């Protein structure tokens, strides 16, 4: 075979390879473009309600009409924000006093439950765990009337004290489930080593389990914080406007025959800021904590 023929074949293969690479590059670009287009589409869909909330909160009384919900304000005003802040400010402090202790106590108790049920097995542990999980599947509405009578008979004051107790109790099942799954990924050899060193159940928890529990605590604290902050049903039954959380004050702000849409939208944004900040600051740890207990070993 002559040298010219060999060179021609090499050039032909090179041209075919370049054409194939060009096709693959074009295909990757098209796929990437479609992927980002779909993502942008869904981002727009998700942000549309936030857009309506934001622009409506800066509208005047005459301009804040549902028929003009998508239009920018004719005149940008801050009266709705002032009214919303004056209405919600007292309840925001009470809500912080409610959600922080509720989240901390339920997270700690859930951690203890998860630790005992996953590492200190005892007869009937699975039955106990199943009974605890029943609390996740009982609708709040089904037990609201007897729960109201129970709280009243116990003499627990209406408002923050009763709401704190309820959120702690109702938060225990999900906290226990999350911690039990998370602690299942902790090697049993660590527990056995602590036992051989003479450590009891509490010493083992404090020295071995608790120091590695940060991802689990992040998950349950965020979960409990947002659940208690956004709760309205318990707040409506066990509190009032003068001693209730921010959701009750927000409902009063939006109530009435003549709804102040600007103040209502501004109030909704103000009430959502704390949970938004929590997810922005701790969102990546939330996902990491959920995934950390998904695989054992």
Tell me the pLDDT tens digit for each residue of 174-184: 999 889 888 88
- Co-location of 161 and 253 in the same domain: yes
Indicate whether 63 belongs to any domain: no
Average pLDDT in the 85-95 region? 91
d(CA 278, CA 99): 13
Cα–chain-centroid distance for residue 14?
55
The per-residue pLDDT of the chain, averaged, comes to 83
Q: What percent of the chain has pLDDT over 70?
A: 87
Residue 294 reports pLDDT greater than 60: no
- Co-location of 197 and 274 in the same domain: yes
Indicate whether 230 belongs to any domain: yes
- Co-location of 11 and 110 in the same domain: no
User: How many domains, the chain?
Assistant: 2
Domain of 216, in residue numbers: 79-292
- Co-location of 219 and 281 in the same domain: yes
* pLDDT at site 17: 59
Indicate whether 66 belongs to any domain: no
- CA dist list (Å): 200 to 193, 203, 204, 295: 11, 5, 6, 27
Provide the pLDDT confidence category of residue 6 given band limits of 50, 70 and 90. very low
Residue 201 reports pLDDT greater than 60: yes
DSSP state of 73: P
Which two tokens mark 109?
A: 């108790």
- Co-location of 98 and 199 in the same domain: yes
- Co-location of 36 and 124 in the same domain: no
- Co-location of 88 and 50 in the same domain: no
Residue 98 reports pLDDT greater than 90: yes
128-135 contacts at long range (C-beta below 8 A, 24 or more positions apart): 129/176, 129/180, 132/172, 132/173, 132/176, 133/173, 133/176, 133/177, 134/173, 135/169, 135/170, 135/172, 135/173
- Co-location of 140 and 268 in the same domain: yes
Indicate whether 224 belongs to any domain: yes
Residue in this structure with the two tokens 């159940």, named with its chain if needed: 201
């Amino acid at each position: 075979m002559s040298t010219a023929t060999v060179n021609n074949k090499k050039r032909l293969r090179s041209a075919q390879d370049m054409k194939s690479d060009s096709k693959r590059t074009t295909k990757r670009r098209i796929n990437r473009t479609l992927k980002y287009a779909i993502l942008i589409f869904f981002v727009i869909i998700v942000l549309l309600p936030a857009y309506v909330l934001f622009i409506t909160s800066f509208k005047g009384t005459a301009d804040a009409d549902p028929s003009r919900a998508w239009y920018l304000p004719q005149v940008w005003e801050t009266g709705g924000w002032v009214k919303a802040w004056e209405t919600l400010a007292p309840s925001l402090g009470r809500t912080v006093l409610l959600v922080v202790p509720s989240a901390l106590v339920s997270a700690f108790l859930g951690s203890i439950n998860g630790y005992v049920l996953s590492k200190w097995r005892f007869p009937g542990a699975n039955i106990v765990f199943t009974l605890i999980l029943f609390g996740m599947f009982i609708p709040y509405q089904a037990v609201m009337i007897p729960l109201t009578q129970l709280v009243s008979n116990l003499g627990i004051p209406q408002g923050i004290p009763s709401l704190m107790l309820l959120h702690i109790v109702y938060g225990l099942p999900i906290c226990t489930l999350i911690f039990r799954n998370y602690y299942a990924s902790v090697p049993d050899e660590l527990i056995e080593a602590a036992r051989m060193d003479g450590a009891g159940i509490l010493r083992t928890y404090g020295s071995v389990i608790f120091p590695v529990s940060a991802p689990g605590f992040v998950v349950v604290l965020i979960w409990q914080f947002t659940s208690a902050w956004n709760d309205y049903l318990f707040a409506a039954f066990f509190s009032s406007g003068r001693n209730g959380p921010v959701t009750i004050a927000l409902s009063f702000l939006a109530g009435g025959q003549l709804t102040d849409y600007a103040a209502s939208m501004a109030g909704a944004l103000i009430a959502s800021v704390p949970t938004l900040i929590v997810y922005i600051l701790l969102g990546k740890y939330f996902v990491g904590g959920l995934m950390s207990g998904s695989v054992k070993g």
